[in-house]
Structure 1
Amino acid sequence: MATPRRRSPYLRMEWIDAETGAVGWLVVDSLVQGMATGGTRMRAGCTVDEVADLAYGMSNKTAAFDLPVGGAKGGIDFDPKDPRAVDVLTRFCDAMRPYLDRHWVTAEDLGVTQDLIDTVFARLGMAQSYHAAIARSDDPAATTARVMAGLHAHAPGGALGDVIGGFGVARAVLAAARATGRSPRETTVAVQGVGTMGGGTAFYLHQAGSRVVALADAAGTLYDPEGLDVPALLDTRNRFGEMDRDQVPASVQRLPREALLSTTCDVLVPAAVSYAITADNCAAIDAAIVVEAANAPTTIDAELDLTARGIAVVPDFIANAGAVAWAWWLLLGWVGDDYRDSFSLLDAQMTSKVTALVAGWRPSDGPIRWAADVSATVRNPEPLVVP
């Protein structure tokens, strides 16, 4: 099977902050009905190629879940811990206002929480980061109220808008495990990253009875072969997704951050930075399945190596697409502020897609990504109507 051909994005735009020198980009990979969706990230070292890769992935996500929108991404090369970061993000969004007004729906991503980006949008008089879609509504005020109610609705583990992505990844992990003959309670998992996505994934896997044996944050890896007390550890996190080592039980081993990737487990979940798994470190991976919770966490050459070893890699644009799919279901009024409706719909869709991909996969077919890639699909959905 041939690797899907990569087309050029619809638009690339560079921005330079006059006050700090920070550089940012908007890449619109595709437009559907004049709209594209994708979060905005901020990290020191972010590049335009990274943003373009992520925008391409967003086109795949929206196509895979049959959403009436194309793919885009924003990125800023700046440290989100810098006290000037909020102002940098505000100026970036202000510069992108023509696209945010009409064409680009954005949201949280690495280094940018949903609350933060909503605060920035409120500063700019746009109320909420789904502004471009909400503006198409016959009653923008009512749509904004529905969206905000859904985002902040209570769910096990936190606010629904914060945990829905992790819930989707957890269901992808469980579906992949079942497709390879493992029950939830027989499945051991290592999760790299305990931010919104990684933390949610670990929480719901623990809740399902799986044994989360390793968690990693910027300070290192916490490991216990008997299984970690995930909820207790997550409760110690600060706003940057780092666990308080003073509250870690003495029985838990403290290992270097990079040790997470070599943890012996059934499923490895990279849920932190892009390009975490490379040709230089992929040989150390000791898992049967990799489920990509982060955006673009595995380089192409590393994925080919893992595939050759018989390790199934469930691609990011399937495994972590739950957050964007749910956001559009919320916008379109298909779900509301009852988390059970959202969990039920996402569970059904994620389980179906992952099971179909993993159950029929053989290493000789090439990476699962090749079979799952639908970014080139020409879509002519019904006219987008936001109620």
Structure 2
Amino acid sequence: MTAARSAPLVRVTWTDPVTGKNGYLVVHTLVSGIATGGTRMRAGCTESEVADLAYGMALKTATFNLPVGGAKGGIDCDPKDPQARGVLERFVTAMRPWLDNSWVTAEDLGVPQSLIDEVFAKLGLEQSYHAAIRRSPNPERTLQRVHAGLNAPVPGGQLLGDVIGGYGVAQACLGVANAWGWEESETTVAVQGIGTMGGGAAWYLHEAGVKIVAVADAAGTLHDPNGLDIPHLLDLRDRFGEIDRSGVPSSVQRLPREAIVGINADILVPAAVSYALNADNADEVVASAIVEAANAATTPEADAKLVERGIPIVPDFVANSGAAAWAWWLLMGEVGAEPADSFIKLRTEMRSRVAMLMNEWEAGKVPPRVTAIELAERNRAERLAAEAEGGMALTIP
């Protein structure tokens, strides 16, 4: 059994004076006086959703033993709305007391890193990691290191900061495959959501020789049991992660968006919105395992149903934590602008955690979420105890 979920430290509700749209900041925990978590934007975003995500961030940072707590920002606005950028700018301005001192934010659903950095720069905050960078004895040098890491080019024409989260999800999937003795070339994966996280995961799984048999975006599901041409499909995406169907080969099946849940694949990767797997569709899942790339991808009811059916779920706060963990390794100087170093470190850290979760599942059918929460709680307790004794303080070189 795990301890009861603690209440958030801070909840802030903001109303945009221009559009009337609402935004939220939830700080679940502070460690070393600071918390980290992205800012998302989607129509229908609620404070409850943001609180769930903030809790997930607290688990992420503790699972990877990072010297920070967890927080999250959210704005109830369609990112395609022409007024969306203005809403984001006013939200960031209103949250500035937290962003100056205690909240490090970054990209999330509907808010690419490039956009949030542009907003921060316009407001004189330089970059969205501002609250951590300003703690450095040489903020300019730290900012240069962060920019160099985020903008390091990687094969495929992308930047390291844009793909590192998806790379981590891919490593989580490969960790599951390895635990069950599956060959990469014989493993099949279906990916729901083909934006930054889902697209990056699909790219690196494809590079590893895994067959991506289905991907889904807002327009529907694309399916080919022989494997999709992932590089080609990614080239057809627009900035909202939607694939231009005019360039999709006629041999690829076009199915409804919700069909992705029931696709015959070894691993299902929900990488779109929160609560995509719920009590209504959990029985449709035929995959042998689920790797959560989206935050809060599975509702508690769906989680219980799937585990009862013998389908393990690698939780979001492990599988999709690569971007958050990497950002802090970059801030603390543990990695730099050489992508190979970042890939090696993330692969090692992710595979070891997934192996532990799968070992517990295989040995006693302990749900991976339970094992991961226990690890996070243990790590957090040890860190807070050490911090109270004057050790393990956050150091930004």
Same-fold status (TM-score > 0.5): yes
Whether 1:47 and 2:46 are equivalent positions in the alignment is yes
The answer to whether the 8 A contact 1:304-1:366 is kept is: no
Match of 2:68 in 1: 69
The answer to whether the 8 A contact 1:188-1:266 is kept is: yes
Code of the residue aligned with 2:28 in structure 1: it is D
Distance 2:372 2:45 in 1: 27
Task: After TM superposition, list the pairs within 5 Å mapping 1:154-193 onto structure 2.
Answer: 154-157=153-156, 158-193=158-193
Distance 1:58 1:363 in 2: 28
Task: After TM superposition, list the pairs within 5 Å mapping 1:127-146 onto structure 2.
Answer: 127-146=126-145
Whether 1:257 and 2:257 are equivalent positions in the alignment is yes
- Output one character per residue of 1:329-381: Cα deviation in whole Å (capped at 9) or x when no partner: 00011111110000000000000100111123159645311111045432235
Match of 1:322 in 2: 322
Distance 1:257 1:44 in 2: 18
- Output one character per residue of 1:288-317: Cα deviation in whole Å (capped at 9) or x when no partner: 000000000000010010000000100000
Match of 1:384 in 2: 394
Distance 2:356 2:371 in 1: 11
Match of 1:109 in 2: 108
Give every structure 1 segment of 4 or more consecutive aligned residues whose post-TM-superposition deviation is greater than 2 Å. 362-367, 374-377
Deviation at 1:233, TM superposition (A): 0.4
Match of 2:286 in 1: 286
Distance 2:303 2:181 in 1: 22
Distance 1:293 1:363, change over 3 A: farther
Distance 1:337 1:322 in 2: 16
Distance 2:349 2:366 in 1: 24
Match of 1:94 in 2: 93
Distance 1:226 1:154 in 2: 30
Distance 1:184 1:22 in 2: 46
* TM-score w.r.t. length of structure 2: 0.96
Aligned residue pairs, count? 386
Match of 2:146 in 1: 147
Whether 1:295 and 2:295 are equivalent positions in the alignment is yes
- Stretch deviating more after TM superposition (140-149 or 287-296): 140-149
Code of the residue aligned with 2:240 in structure 1: it is F
Unaligned residue ranges in structure 1 (runs of 5+)? none
Partner-residue secondary structure (3-state), 1:6? coil
Match of 2:33 in 1: 34
Match of 1:277 in 2: 277
- Identical pairs, percent: 61
Deviation at 1:3, TM superposition (A): 4.5
* TM-score w.r.t. length of structure 1: 0.98
Deviation at 1:156, TM superposition (A): 2.2
Distance 1:363 1:13 in 2: 43
Whether 1:126 and 2:136 are equivalent positions in the alignment is no
Distance 2:306 2:6 in 1: 25
Code of the residue aligned with 1:67 in structure 2: it is L
Unaligned residue ranges in structure 2 (runs of 5+)? none
Code of the residue aligned with 1:7 in structure 2: it is S
Distance 1:4 1:364 in 2: 20
